Amino acid sequence: MALVIKGSSSGQVTLDVPAAAGTNTITIPATSGTMLDTNSVIDKSKLPSGTIVQMIHASTTSQTGTTAGSFTATNCAAQITPRVAANKIIVMASSSVYISAANQQASATIYRDSTNLSASSTRGIVQFWGNSAVVQGDCSIMLTDHPNTTNAVTYALYIRKLAAGGGQVFAGVDSTTQFITLLEVQV
């Protein structure tokens, strides 16, 4: 048996009961208004805290090298436009890092636009040290940020040399894949 609800001017909605034993109940909330919007998306204000609202993912195999003593942007970057200013952004980035000379130090961090998200503006979030040898390793960073905006923001991996002397610091060596993933989390 089907229940047909006709629209006030045109169209109709048909509810059909499946051919299964038992009783099925649908409870309609005692509230006025639209349960779903015109795009059949749940209203963001109804999402529970901790819900992933959106995900942005970017990857590159483009290498970045620097001899600079200040942080230099890599090609590992992604932009997100938060849907709610109060929401948090989880940032996950991964890259290979190579120091081309022995006895050198390097550091990596994440920037939101022009803001270094490290607690140390010089040391960054992850550090590398090549004692008597060149160093190549993995750099993985995960952090939670609160940009407090609904404007587009860009998150990027930055690298720098910490020690004076020869050699360069590279991110994304040997065409390895670097990635950055941004998750907006409902607060």
In this prediction, residue 72 carries a pLDDT of 96
pLDDT at residue 44, as a whole number: 67
Tokens, residue 106: 């390097």
Structure token pair of residue 64: 């970045």
Q: How many domains does the chain have?
A: 1
- For 150, other C-beta atoms within 10 Å of its C-beta total 13
Structural domain contains residue 93: yes
Does 29 map to a domain?
no
Is 28 among the domain residues?
no
Residue 159 lies in a domain: yes
Residue 120: predicted pLDDT: 85
In a domain, 3, yes or no: no
Three-state secondary structure call for residue 43 = coil
Q: Is 91 exposed, middle or buried (0-12, 13-18, 19+ CB in 10 A)?
A: buried
On whether residue 39 sits in a domain, the answer given is no
22 Cβ contact list (under 8 Å, min separation 6): none
In a domain, residue 4? The reply is no
CA distance 78 to 36: 30
Which residue segment(s) compose the domain that 92 sits in? Answer: 47-185
> CATH number, domain at 88?
2.60.120.1340
Task: Kindly report the backbone phi and psi dihedral angles of residue 105, in degrees, each rounded to the nearest multiple of 5, phi listed first.
Answer: -120, 150
State the amino acid at position 70 in one-letter form.
S
Q: What is the pLDDT along the chain (187 residues), one digit of tens a residue?
A: 677 888 888 888 887 777 777 777 777 777 776 665 556 666 666 778 999 999 999 999 999 999 998 999 999 999 999 999 999 999 999 999 999 988 888 999 999 999 999 998 888 999 988 777 788 889 999 999 999 999 999 999 999 998 777 789 999 988 899 999 999 999 9
